[in-house]
Amino acid sequence: MTKWPSRAASSRTSSGLGAETRPSAYVDALNLLSRRALSSTECRDRLLARQHPEDKVDEAIARLVENGSLDDKRLAHAHARTAVEIKGRGRLRVVRELQARGVDKEVAAEAVAEVFGEKDERALVARALRKKLRMRTRPKDAAEYARLYQYLMRQ
């Protein structure tokens, strides 16, 4: 039976030293952004959680913003479009979600206004009602009406 080398042996550098090199904050941020679009705040928080020095994190964020890899406006617009068109969310909920992701209030409001400028909000409400009621056209009792109202308020 073949015995495979241990992890420590395989992580040695070409010089034979066992020193492991840790990726820079910039490279780590690029890896994070390759998986999912992040806001500047989310990216900063994740880099700090990975024990990168605060000054290196600030440099990495500035570099990513400068080269366009990190753009809160683009993120806000994409998130708002997805939330409205696919998930059927309302204006206030989308703004709250964006603010929870660390997007500035004005940027979030601008993105939501742009996306909702193209949409008919009554049609969104009608779609949410059809989805929730399925085959019926009206709620069958007061309790279902109350649940439906709460559902619409959350959306």
pLDDT band at 91 (very low <50, low <70, confident <90, very high): confident
Global pTM value: 0.67
Mean pLDDT score, 72-100: 90
Give pLDDT, residue 140: 72
Give pLDDT, residue 135: 60
Give pLDDT, residue 89: 84
Whether residues 103 and 136 share a domain: the answer is: no
Instruction: Tell me, yes or no, whether 13 lies in a domain.
Output: no
Whether residues 80 and 111 share a domain: the answer is: yes
Q: Find the range with the poorest average confidence among 3-7, 92-96, 116-120, 132-136.
A: 3-7
Whether residues 61 and 80 share a domain: the answer is: no
For residue 17, pLDDT over 60 is answered with no
Domain that holds residue 36: 22-70
Instruction: Tell me, yes or no, whether 16 lies in a domain.
Output: no
* Of 124, 85, 80, the residue nearest 101 (C-alpha): 80
Give pLDDT, residue 11: 46
